């Protein structure tokens, strides 16, 4: 699966290593060394995947994510030397799809790149009707979410979590089950990441995120989607 990958990394040696591994798998690669250039290139070139370093000049990785997630839902793999749970959650909270801590094995990086690209490009299949829960609709073919007909921008991970919940309305999913859907069963993210994704989704689909009517918490267990919310 060939793709156009944007690499935002200010360490020249690290950037060249990543570029070489991506080129071995026939991906087109563009490397930038600061956050502002990363934002500009996403807007002008529309890459299939962004590999984003956290610590960069001009704009850091979190600011880049904050800026891009207003308009774009491309997969983002965050790479950083920071390894605390708080740092990871900050990235996921702003819309990162995966997180890799330096130093890392380039083969693991490529495995995560392949996983993200597979999820972003689902294989063609039979006609699938949109999933619905009250005024909320999820179109798996167009990869769109709409609320009262208005399009809602979701990251790939958020989309997959919403897809799981809307596919089985009323079913309670544990945090681990949602993370397996969002990041794959071999991911190393903590269960608190599921809470960050749900928090982001509630901001987008709930009239009052503090009192959700669509995406509800089942305390001590996980989350479920309510399918009988009125359209009004």
Instruction: List the pLDDT tens digit at each of the 232 positions of the chain.
Output: 578 999 999 999 999 999 999 998 888 899 999 999 999 999 888 899 999 998 888 888 889 988 988 788 889 999 988 767 777 788 888 888 888 988 889 899 999 999 888 887 655 445 567 888 878 888 887 888 988 888 988 888 899 999 999 988 889 999 989 988 888 776 677 888 889 999 999 999 998 999 999 999 999 899 999 876 544 3
| Alpha carbon of residue 88 to chain centroid | 13
Q: How far apart are CA 166 and CA 180, in angstroms?
A: 16
Give the residue among 209, 207, 212, 213 at the shortest CA–CA distance from 227: 213
Give the residue among 69, 90, 107 at the shortest CA–CA distance from 50: 69
Looking at residue 169, its pLDDT comes to 86
Looking at residue 232, its pLDDT comes to 39
Q: How far apart are CA 162 and CA 201, in angstroms?
A: 8
Looking at residue 128, its pLDDT comes to 60
- DSSP-derived letter for residue 34 is S
Q: How far apart are CA 135 and CA 186, in angstroms?
A: 34
Q: How far apart are CA 65 and CA 210, in angstroms?
A: 24
Q: How many CB atoms lie within 10 A of CB 24?
A: 10
At a CB cut-off of 8 Å and minimum separation 6, what does 181 contact? 160, 161, 163, 164
| Structure-token match 């935002």, residue found | 8
Q: How far apart are CA 109 and CA 115, in angstroms?
A: 10
Looking at residue 122, its pLDDT comes to 58
Structure-block tokens of residue 206:
């709930």
Go through the domains of the chain in sequence order and give each one's CATH number: 4-120 (3.40.50.2300), 131-225 (1.10.10.10)
| Structure-token match 């982001």, residue found | 200
Burial 134-159 (b: 16+ CB within 10 A, else e): bbbbbebeeebbbbeeeebebbbbbb
At a CB cut-off of 8 Å and minimum separation 6, what does 86 contact? none
Adjacent-strand bridge partners of 222:
174, 218
| Structure-token match 């809470």, residue found | 195
Adjacent-strand bridge partners of 145:
138, 152
């Amino acid at each position: 699966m060939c793709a156009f990958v944007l690499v935002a990394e200010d360490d020249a040696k690290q950037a060249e290593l990543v570029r070489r591994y991506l080129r071995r798998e026939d991906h087109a690669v563009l490397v930038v060394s600061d956050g502002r250039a990363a934002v500009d290139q996403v807007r002008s070139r529309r890459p299939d995947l962004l590999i984003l370093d956290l610590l960069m000049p001009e704009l850091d990785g979190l600011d880049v994510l904050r800026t891009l997630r207003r308009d774009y839902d491309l997969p983002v793999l965050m790479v950083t030397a920071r390894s605390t749970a708080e740092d990871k959650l900050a990235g996921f909270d702003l819309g990162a799809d995966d997180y890799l801590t330096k130093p890392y094995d380039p083969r693991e990086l490529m495995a995560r790149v392949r996983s993200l690209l597979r999820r972003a490009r689902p294989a063609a299949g039979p006609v699938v009707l949109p999933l619905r829960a009250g005024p909320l609709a999820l179109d798996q073919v167009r990869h769109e979410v709409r609320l009262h007909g208005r399009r809602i921008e979701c990251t790939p991970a958020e989309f997959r979590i919403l897809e799981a919940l809307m596919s089985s309305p009323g079913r309670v999913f544990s945090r681990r089950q949602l993370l397996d859907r969002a990041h794959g069963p071999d991911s190393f993210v903590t269960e608190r990441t599921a809470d960050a994704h749900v928090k982001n989704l509630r901001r987008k689909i709930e009239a009052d995120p503090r009192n959700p009517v669509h995406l509800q918490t089942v305390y001590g267990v996980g989350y479920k989607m309510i399918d009988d919310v009125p359209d009004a």
